[in-house]
Amino acid sequence: MSSYHSAARLDEARRVAIFGGTHGNEMSGVMLVNLWVQNNTEVQRKGVEVQPFITNPKAVEKCTRYVDTDLNRAFTPENLSTLGGGDLPYEVRRAQEINRMFGPKGSPEAYDVIFDLHNTTSNMGCTLLLESSKDHFNLQMMNYIQKSIFPASCLVLLNEHPLLKYSTSRSVAKHPVGLEVGPQPQGVLRSNIFESMRDILKHALDFIELFNAGMEFPPCTVEVFRLSERIDYPRDDNGNIIAMVHPNLQDCDWEPLNPGDPMFQTFDGKTIHYQGSGTVYPTFINEAAYYEKQQAFATTRRESLVASAIRKA
Amino acid sequence: MELDEVVCFSRFSRVAICGGTHGNELSGVYLVREMQKAERKAKERGNDMEVITVLSNPRAVQRGLRYIDTDLNRCFTHAMLSGSNTNDAPYEIIRSRELNALLGPKGSRDAVDLVCDLHNTTANMGLCLISYSDSDWLCLHVFRHLQRQMPDVPTRFIHFNATNKESYSLDSVGKHGFALEAGPQPHGVMRSNIYTTMKMGVEHVLDWVCLFNSGFVFEGGSVDVYTVVRNIDYPRDRDTHNITAAVHPQLQDRDFCLLYPEDPLFLTLSGETLRYKGKEPLYPFFINECAYYEKGIAVSLARKRRVAIPAIRVQTEQEQQAKKDECTSEEEEE
């Protein structure tokens, strides 16, 4: 039975960008984008213009997360519209430039899809980052990727939280897709992590090519992990950390954390337990860059989203 | 060396535990902080031994960086320590001179007896004691003690043979010294298991020193020592100097697993395997250490050998006095 009548008609995804080096010390994306800027054969697809792009070249050169401020938090409406030129922090100027090149954010001229490549010190494996539960194009793409790499897995993290959501570099596009692969230390290139990211992008671009060629994707259910809460380290009155992620929680991203389970361990060996009301799925456990953002890990809740059938308009 | 020979050393009166020499290697940073907090509650361990805890590079610690201007752990040669501070001197040079005044001066009678400098590595190295010497019996005995007290932690002794080059690291400021390196841990991250390993290691070092001071005779024996032979850099682009390959998945995380000629070393971005071309099987370590990309080191290679260590004990007061009298009479003769 054909679902022809119920398929949502969406615009072709003709203009696609691949961002690397949004954080200059997350090496998989830096290496992949540098490779594809030199030779883009691997990312070419029929009917798609693919632009690999280093978003934060100064941070990449210094092999640091950012120079003045986190680029991946800089794409706020205020930052994008503010004047000030040379006085502005480097990353704010960069955000404005990226918005000109790949946006403007929210307008019909914006790029169709932006993949933003990241690494994490957390044991998250391959994670796709989704910004809207209503983005059926992205949901279908993520479902396609998951089916293609099976039995390898790739989970979907949805950040739609009104307070915890932030203005990413990829948010300039109509369909922003974050790619987070770990564990990998900052400044380090691990071959297996690099190849995993490369493989996911290959399938993502295949999906876009098929969609643009007119293929219809039937309705599907996608399991997502919806971001719920940020949990900080226990700190003393001076703001110094007084406990570490508990050995039972360390590296257990995406595994259920139940009320009463060990969460932190103080320096003299005492256990601090999770006091939430129900089972959550922790992620970004012990991410290096989040110490300064007051986050030891984030909690998520499992949810099933239904993506409608989609087809090129 | 005679089987029943016991080598004597002066007692340890001052031991320094240093953390945060690299500001983003967090085990040492937090361990030193905790030890400083505990110090305010309880005093020394007895035996009249003073434990000095030092946060070596506080500015780098505050910013979560390895260093501000230059690597502090390369700033302890005599030349670098003896210059005068100019206005534009790198922060770490000024700091190395401060540390030398606090713990040294290097090479003098006033230097602390032992410097134990705490580090982390992104490489899968377990716990390593790193020293310039393979014949400092005190360090080798401390190492053997750590191995015996922590049988669940892979513990190894790494010897940097610096005969031609002068020692440049913080641990060279003390009369005896070594670095205690624990990994794998990403920089800027604190893993509880690595912290616990480091904490236990430091406790066992201090326990050993107290035992030594109390007159205990440590029997001789032998230990395995890994002596660094050479380093291998990443393949790099001729123009940009950027790396063009990653450590091969079959080598990644296999620190101290013997590397044979023709074993895979690197996997290029285009999928080609580059192999080890040396003639001699060697032991790899510091495999894919983040901070060594800029130093041109993808992996270090070492030879392993068994080193015999003599029995040792602390010099008694009479022996110390006899030695002093001997020195005085020598000076009088001159």
The shortest CB-CB distance from B288 to any of A31, A183, A188 is to A188
**pLDDT at A18 > cutoff 70:** yes
Q: What is the pLDDT of residue B328?
A: 74
Structure tokens at A231: 């949990």
Using the predicted structure, report yes or no on whether residue B47 has a pLDDT greater than 80. no
Q: Is B237 exposed, middle or buried (0-12, 13-18, 19+ CB in 10 A)?
A: exposed
- Per-residue pLDDT of B314-334, as tens digits, reads 998 888 888 778 877 766 665
Give dist(CA B91, CA A87) in Å, integer: 27
Phi, psi values for residue B295, rounded to 5°: -95, 0
d(CA B85, CA B95): 10
Q: Tell me the shortest Cα–Cα distance from A221 to chain B, in angstroms.
A: 35
Q: Which of A180, A209, A255, A303 is catalytic?
A: A180
Contact A187 B192 (CB under 8 A): no
For residue A5, name the pLDDT band (cuts at 50, 70, 90).
low
CB contact under 8 A, A191 and B187: no
| SS3 assignment, position A194 | helix
Domains and CATH numbers, chain B: 6-220+310-325 (3.40.630.10), 227-305 (2.20.25.160)
Which of A298, A186, A61, A125 lies closest to B188, judged by CA? A186
Contact A111, A17 (CB under 8 A): yes
Residue A179, strand partner residues: A117, A128
Query: A190–B122: do the CB atoms touch at under 8 Å?
Result: no
Instruction: Sort out which chain A residues have CB atoms less than 8 A from B252's CB and list them.
Output: 190-192
Under 8 Å between Cβ of A4 and A216? yes
Best B29, B69, B189 residue to mutate vs chain A (most A CBs within 10 Å)? B189
A101 touches chain B (CB under 8 A): no
Distance from C-alpha of A155 to C-alpha of A224, rounded to nearest angstrom: 7
In which band, very low, low, confident or very high, does the pLDDT at B52 lie, cut at 50, 70 and 90? very high
Q: Do A185 and B189 touch (CB under 8 A)?
A: yes
Per the CB < 8 A criterion, the answer to whether B61 and B29 are in contact is yes
What's the rounded Cα separation, in Å, for the pair B237 and A162? 45
Tens-place pLDDT, residues B286-312: 999 999 998 999 999 999 999 999 999
Predicted pLDDT of residue B5: 87
If you average pLDDT over residues B125-151, what whole number do you get? 97
User: B305: part of which helix (H) or strand (E)?
Assistant: strand B299-309
Residues of B with Cβ-Cβ distance to A121 under 8 angstroms: 186, 188-189
Q: Which of A12, A177, A14, A173 is nearest to A106 (CA)?
A: A173
CA distance B71 to chain A (A): 15
The residue of chain B nearest to residue A195, with distances taken between CA atoms, is: B269
Q: What is the pLDDT of residues A57-102, one digit of tens each?
A: 999 999 999 999 999 999 999 999 999 888 999 999 999 999 999 9
Q: Tokens standing for B198? A: 């480091």
Burial class (CB within 10 angstroms; exposed 0-12, middle 13-18, buried 19+) of B304: middle
- Find, in chain B, the residue whose alpha carbon is nearest to that of A39: B270
A-B contacts (CB, under 8 Å): 81
% pLDDT > 90, chain B: 83
* A246/B192 CB distance under 8 A: yes
Bond from prior residue into A151 cis (ω within 30 degrees of 0): yes
CB contact under 8 A, B191 and A286: yes
Distance from CA of B4 to the nearest CA of A (A): 42
Q: Which two tokens stand for residue A89?
A: 């922090």
**Do the bridges between strand A125-130 and strand A175-182 make them parallel or antiparallel, or are there none, so unpaired?**
antiparallel
- Known binding residue B119? Answer is yes
Tokens standing for residue B129: 């004691």
Q: Would you put residue A284 in left (φ > 0), alpha (ψ -120 to 50) or beta?
A: left
From A265, which residue of chain B is nearest by alpha-carbon distance? B192
**Can you tell me whether residue A38 is helix, strand or coil?**
helix
Active site residues of B: 181
B333 is in an annotated binding site: no
Distance, in angstroms, between A174 CA and closest chain B CA?
31
Distance between CA B136 and CA A266 in Å, rounded?
Answer: 36
> How far is A240 from A230, CA to CA, in rounded Å?
18
Q: Whole-angstrom Cα distance, residue B263 to residue B248? A: 10
Residue range B53-101, pLDDT digits in tens: 999 999 999 999 999 999 999 999 999 999 887 888 999 999 999 999 9
Query: Tokens for A42?
Result: 């691997």
Instruction: Tally Cβ neighbours within 10 Å of residue B324.
Output: 10
Query: For residue A31, which phi and psi values (nearest 5 degrees)?
Result: -65, -45
Pairing of strands B155-159, B126-131: parallel
pTM: 0.94
Tell whether B326 is in a known binding site.
Answer: no
User: Quick check: A266 pLDDT over 60?
Assistant: yes
**CB < 8 Å to B251, chain A:** none
Contact between A245 and B192 using a beta-carbon 8 Å cutoff: yes
Chain B positions touching chain A (beta carbons under 8 Å): 30, 33-34, 64, 122, 184-193, 195, 242-243, 246-249, 252, 267, 269, 288, 290-291, 293-294
Residue with the bigger pLDDT between A259 and B3: it is A259
Verify whether the Cβ–Cβ distance B290 to A190 is below 8 Å: no
Partner residue facing A191 (CB), from B193, B195, B246: B246
CA of B265 to nearest chain A CA: how many angstroms apart? 11
* Residues near A161 by beta carbon (within 8 Å), at least 6 away in sequence: A226, A227, A228
Q: What is the pLDDT of residues A47-57, one digit of tens each?
A: 999 999 999 99
Q: What is the pLDDT of residue B66?
A: 96
Nearest CB to B30; choose among A250, A267, A289: A267
Please tell me the distance from the alpha carbon of residue B116 to that of residue B182, in angstroms, as a whole number: 13
Q: How far is CA A285 from CA A157, A233, A243, A289, B62, in A?
A: 14, 11, 14, 11, 22
Considering CB atoms only, which of A186, A189, A267 is closest to B246? A189
What pLDDT is attached to residue B87? 80
Per DSSP, chain B holds a count of helices (H) and strands (E) of: 7, 14
Q: What's the pLDDT at A158?
A: 98
Our CA-based measurement puts residue B146 at a distance from the nearest CA of chain A, in whole angstroms, of 21
Cross-chain Cβ contact B249/A34 below 8 Å: no
The predicted structure's pLDDT at residue B84:
83
pLDDT at residue B1 greater than cutoff 60: no
Q: What is the pLDDT of residue B4?
A: 66
pLDDT band with cut points at 50, 70 and 90 for residue B108: very high
A44: pLDDT strictly greater than 80: yes
Name the pLDDT band for B268 (thresholds 50, 70, 90). very high
Q: Which of B187, B193, B288 sits opposite A186 (nearest CB)?
A: B187
Using the Cβ of A286 and the Cβ atoms of chain B, whether some distance falls under 8 Å is answered with yes
Q: What is the mean pLDDT of residues B224-250?
A: 95
Instruction: Give residue-wise pLDDT tens across range B200-211.
Output: 999 999 999 999
For chain A, the average pLDDT equals 96
Quote the percentage of chain A above a pLDDT of 70: 98
Q: How far apart are CA B298 and CA B291, in angstroms?
A: 10
Q: How far is CA B148 from CA A9, A203, B202, in A?
A: 69, 51, 14
A-chain residue closest to B243, CA distance: A31
Position B26: which residue type?
Answer: L
pLDDT of B203 reads: 97
CA nearest to B249 within chain A: A191
- At residue B44's C-alpha, the angle toward residues B38 and B50, to 5°, is 115
Of B245 and A163, the structure prediction assigns the larger pLDDT to B245
pLDDT for position B331: 67
In sequence order, the 6+-apart residues with CB closer than 8 A to the CB of A63 are A24, A25, A187, B293, B294
In degrees and rounded to multiples of 5, residue A136 shows phi and psi of: -70, -30
Quickly tell me which residue has 């395995």 as its tokens.
B224
Query: Mean of the pLDDT values across residues B42-62?
Result: 83
Beta strands B14-19 and B264-268, pairing class: unpaired
Contact B191 A31 (CB under 8 A): no
Quick check: A288 and B186 CB within 8 A? yes
The answer to whether B255 and B262 have CB atoms below 8 angstroms apart is: no
Is B17 within 8 Å of B54 (Cβ atoms)?
Answer: yes
Q: Tokens 């990413």 map to which residue?
A: A168
What pLDDT is recorded for position B109?
Answer: 94
Q: CB of A225 within 8 A of CB of A241?
A: no
| β-sheet with A281-283: strand ranges across | A49-54, A15-20, A113-119, A175-182, A125-130, A154-158, A220-231, A297-307, A281-283
CB A75 within 8 A of CB A172: yes
Residue B135: CB atoms within 10 A of its CB come to: 11
Q: Does B122 contact A244 at a Cβ distance shorter than 8 Å? A: no
User: ipTM value of the model?
Assistant: 0.94
